[in-house]
Amino acid sequence: MGGGTKRPGYMGILLGILLILSGCATTQQTDGLRSDMLGLQRQMQDLDGRLQKLEQAVFGAKGSAGAGAGGLAALNARMDQIQMSMAQLKGQVEELRHAQQQSSAPPPSEPKPPSDQPIISIPGTPPPQGTAGTAPSQGPPPAQAAAPPQTAPAPNPEKDLYNAAMSLYQKGDHAGALRKFKEFTTRYPTSELADNAIFWTGECHFMLGSYQEAINSYQEVLDRFPKGNKASHALLKQGAAFEKLGDPTAARILYERVIQQYPQSPQAQVAKQWLERLK
């Protein structure tokens, strides 16, 4: 997730949250969510800088292996976690907006005032209840509702499965990670992290030496998420996979495409290095 690459997923969520916060929720809630978002944004910027340097160091050698590959995977995993956190923040803001709409509903109609007509009482019969001259009945005070018990955060199987897959990848268990990422894409095809999971499926194939399968996974990212945050990565690694298969012509075309389509991205800088190597 390079610094120059456009991230419609991150930025779209962030913009949507800011627009919602401008018109709903309490000041305290708004300030808290805005602080959380700014903190995540700073983390993303910091990780972007570190990721760019590490990608250039790791990818400077042929392929994606090397001493820094584990650190590269860790940074990518952290960026994915931030994307998930941004999606969760969006959900919290939607809940606040719903609560705001509920609280702004018109209040129930007031009871009609008592009639101003004089009360005619019949001697020997008590006046009607609730009228002048009678004391209101004193019933027992209403019991106060008990505060709801504190509940633990709801489990998030989607996030847990993704983190499990990424953890296996970081530990070097690429076959195990591949199974988990495939399970993720099957169970959560519309997830905020669906494109990430498909990309990491390709990375697992790449690390296992299944370069054609890796190419297919990278192509799925490009076909389904052409403007996603993993598109430039997928295009670059697709070129690397073709190079591994002994097709430098296809690799060169893809590296040039990275430079043309994502000129300000770290992947473009890496592609330039790899083009030089192919000369």
Domains of the chain: 8-100+160-278 (1.25.40.10)
Q: Which two tokens stand for residue 224?
A: 């389904």
Q: Which two tokens stand for residue 200?
A: 């990491």
pLDDT band at 66 (very low <50, low <70, confident <90, very high): very low
State whether the Cα torsion 222-227-231-232 is positive or negative: positive
What is the Cα–Cα distance from 191 to 197, expressed in whole angstroms?
9
**pLDDT beyond 80 at 72:** no
Which of 68, 84, 65 minimizes the C-alpha distance to 10? 84
What is the Cα–Cα distance from 128 to 121, expressed in whole angstroms?
9
Half-sphere exposure of 104 (CA within 13 A, CB side): 10
Q: What is the pLDDT of residues 224-279, one digit of tens each?
A: 999 999 999 999 999 999 999 999 999 999 999 999 999 999 999 999 999 998 98
- Please give the DSSP secondary-structure letter assigned to residue 146: P
**3 state SS of 132:** coil
Q: Among all chains, which residue has been given the structure tokens 């931030």?
A: 82
**3 state SS of 45:** helix
Burial level of 36, CB count in 10 A (0-12/13-18/19+)? Answer: middle
Q: What is the pLDDT of residues 178-233, one digit of tens each?
A: 999 999 999 999 999 999 999 999 999 999 999 999 999 999 999 999 999 999 99
Residues 6+ apart with CB under 8 A from 220: 198
Whole-model pTM: value is: 0.58
- Give the percent of the chain with pLDDT over 70: 46
